[in-house]
Amino acid sequence: ANTGIGKATALDLARRGARVILACRNKEKAEAAVYDIRRETGNTAVLFMHLDLASLKSVRDFAETFLKTEPRLDLLINNAGLMAAGKTEEGFGMAFGVNHLGHFLLTLLLLDRLKASGQTRIINVSAKLHHLGSVDFDTLNTHKDLVTGQSMWHTFMAYCHSKLCNVLFTRELANRLEGSRVTCYSLHPGVVATEFGRNLNILMRLLNLIISKLFFLTPEGGAQTTLYCALQEGLEPLSGRYFDCCTLHKVSDKARDDGLAKKLWEVSERMCNLP
């Protein structure tokens, strides 16, 4: 949340007088973002708490600290969207581990606090590229990843697969939250000029930069659908659904598969060692 869409979202919420926690991996960048947001908004209730989604231990530590210090949680925005090769601390593929599994565990650890805080929402930032995604459970079991290699193509497809996981997670989460006062939504933020591809090689970073400039959507513009799902009144009946450009959109056939969503949930629980 210290750059791009995350920072733009936090800035807007801070302007509205919200207490905002920036959960970030990089302390230096996060503290700079906190300083910027406080200065621009005059809201001093903007704080940094350390969270590295590439470490399930860090996710648990963050949740423990948050639950000790914050009496309520009205809005959880799962914003990370990493496209990078490599492995997480526990050996999961980076895109799967950060974009899906870290968010999955974080959400479940904070769910009781959300339920206790009244009418609350969970926002999962996905992407239109989920249409290219699939979930191969055999590969997940053998490689702890959604792909079998580390090439640029594998890295790109791992990102697409992880974004499908975001939509499936939101769908199953909505089913499990039925009857509660917590609702959830997934969304495509648009093609945004951010640092999400900062871990790619120079060629892929250049391509990302060109695409971003062609579509020229600012982080502020990219944050609008997140803010719509977070703040728009009357969205409760649409829990579990997917939004693009602040409107309801269809998802891929795979993303509508309740059986797939349920299986992903169960596999994710097992991978996070949840009871």
Q: Point out the residues that are catalytic.
A: 159
Q: Tell me, what DSSP letter sits at residue 173? A: H
Residue spans of beta strands (DSSP E) within 25-160: 46-50, 75-78, 120-125
Distance CA 138, CA 272 (A): 18
Q: Could you report how far apart the first and last alpha carbons of the chain are, in Å? A: 30
Nearest-Å Rg of the Cα atoms of the chain is: 17
Task: Give CA separation, 239 vs 115, 167, 198, in Å.
Answer: 15, 12, 32
Residues in Cβ contact with 8 at an 8 Å cutoff, skipping those fewer than 6 apart: 218, 219, 220, 222, 223
Where helices occur in 78-234 by DSSP H, the ranges are 94-95, 103-116, 137-143, 152-177, 202-215, 219-222, 224-231
The SS3 call for residue 241 is coil
Nearest CA-CA partner of 76 in 171, 160, 172, 9? 9
